[in-house]
Structures are given as C-alpha cells and as structure tokens.
Amino acid sequence: MTKDDKVDVLAFGPHPDDIEIGLGGAVATHVDLGYRVGLCDLTRGELGSNGTVEERAGEAKAAAEVLGVEWRINLKWPDGEIAAPNYSSAQIRSAAELIRRSRPSVVVLPYWRDRHPDHEAASRVLSEAVFRAGLSRYSADGAFWKSDWTCYYFINDVVDASFIIDVSRAYDRKRQALACHRSQFDPSGSEAVETRLTDSSFRKMIEARDAHLGARIGVEHAEGLVVKEPLVRPTLLK
C-alpha cells in the first residue's frame, strides 16, 4: 500500500484472479476516470491446482500494474477456509481494519451466490466486515468508517444486474490483466493440471458474458453489479 492509503473504490477478491475475471474492466475504467482504486485479495490461492503462491503473487502484482491501481494487498486468509470457525472473527477484523484504513466511498464484494464455496463465504464475511467497520464501538484498529454503499460483482454465475457499466474503452486492459495470471489460464510444464480455467472456453465465456451485457446497453463490453438497497432517481424521466 502507498503512504496515502485512501481510495475511492476498494474491491475485494477471494483469490488473486477473481477481481480481474468479474471486475477488471470496471477497475480500469475508474482508474481512467481519475478515481483511486485499491484491490485486496483475501487468500494466496494455495489450494489452486496450478501455480505456486510466489507465482500467483507475482501475477497479481503484474495485473495490478496493468490496471493502474493505487495498491494491491493480500490478507493471506487460508484458502478453502474462509469463514471457518477458527478464522472467521480474525478475518472479519482484518477486512474491517483495511476498510477503516483506506476509507473508500465504495466497497465492491463478490456476489453472494456462486458455484465456488469460497466466493459465497467471502461475500458473507466481507459484508459483515463492511458493517462492523462502521460501528464506533467495534474493537478494531482505526477510526470507524461507513462507505457510501456496497456493490457486488459476478465471478462465475450471473443474475440480473442492478446496473451495468460500459467498460469498452478499457477492455483491452482487462484482457491484459487476465493474461498476467498465466499459471491459472495457461500453465506450462509437466506438472500442469487441466482445470476449468485452463480450458480456452473459460476466457471465451468471460468475453461472451461481457459482450452480452454490453449488447444490452448498446456498447461493446460491459460489467454488471448488484446493490441490495433501492437505487434513487429524482424523477420517472430517463
């Protein structure tokens, strides 16, 4: 993290490539608009079939540089044990302290329904951390902080979005950031294991999803997000 930890947008990902998969275009778009963006990976992805912890850390750093964010950190929660009873309190506290330290206007979390158990667990723990970070009597480092709102992004499964962001101009940077995670999408060597991510259809699925969302609003590529509270409009007029 930089000497000035304050960001406008703080995005969390369960594993080092999840933010790029679901939110890479929006991250790059906000950077281009002049907003300060911070990224936080919860785990080092040590249970992944491919890539070492060191390789994945280097890939995450390279992707962060491509996206142009202010900083990217890893909380080093145990992969596969997000929200486990022995860790959950410490996990909530560490995330809440990061929120208090970085004071974001917007916190972006994984959507609460997903095929991957870690993604769903992360959404629950992080939602609690956002809430507790705003409690003045919650025992954690830093002054209490309430962000303006929380948004949820899709990693795997997609439902109807509350709103859609045009990420067309920054989409090449999303592609480049995803390509940084070579150990997950294009592993080499005799120990490489075939997974859902190594199949070329996976990245095609990401692009197809983003192109579909873009077509819905008449642009090339877009990403969708969900909010739990009603969106306020001043009038019925579009």
Contact of 184 with 48, CB cutoff 8 Å:
yes
Domain 9-226 grouped into CATH 3.40.50.12280? no
What's the pTM value of the predicted model, to 2 decimals? 0.96
Ordered DSSP codes for 161-204: -SEEEE-GGGHHHHHHHHHH-HHHHS--STT----TTTSHHHHH
DSSP H helical segments within 41-148, as ranges?
53-67, 88-102, 117-133
Spans of all domains in the chain: 9-226
Could you give the C-alpha distances from 110 to 44, 186, 190, 210, 225, in angstroms and in order? 17, 24, 33, 16, 9
CB neighbours of residue 80 within 10 Å: 13
What are 74's two structure tokens? Answer: 């890893």
Torsion 57-180-107-209 (CA) sign:
negative
Q: Round to the nearest angstrom and report the end-to-end CA distance of the chain.
A: 40
Per-residue pLDDT of the chain (238 residues; tens, 9 = 90+): 665 799 999 999 999 999 999 999 999 999 999 999 999 999 999 999 998 999 999 999 999 999 999 999 999 999 999 998 888 899 999 999 999 999 999 999 999 999 999 999 999 999 999 999 999 999 999 999 999 999 999 999 888 999 999 999 999 999 999 999 999 999 988 888 999 999 989 999 999 999 999 999 999 999 999 999 999 989 989 8
Q: Express each pLDDT in 9-66 by its tens digit.
A: 999 999 999 999 999 999 999 999 999 999 999 999 999 999 899 999 999 999 999 9
User: Taking all residues of the chain, what is their mean pLDDT, rounded to a whole number?
Assistant: 95
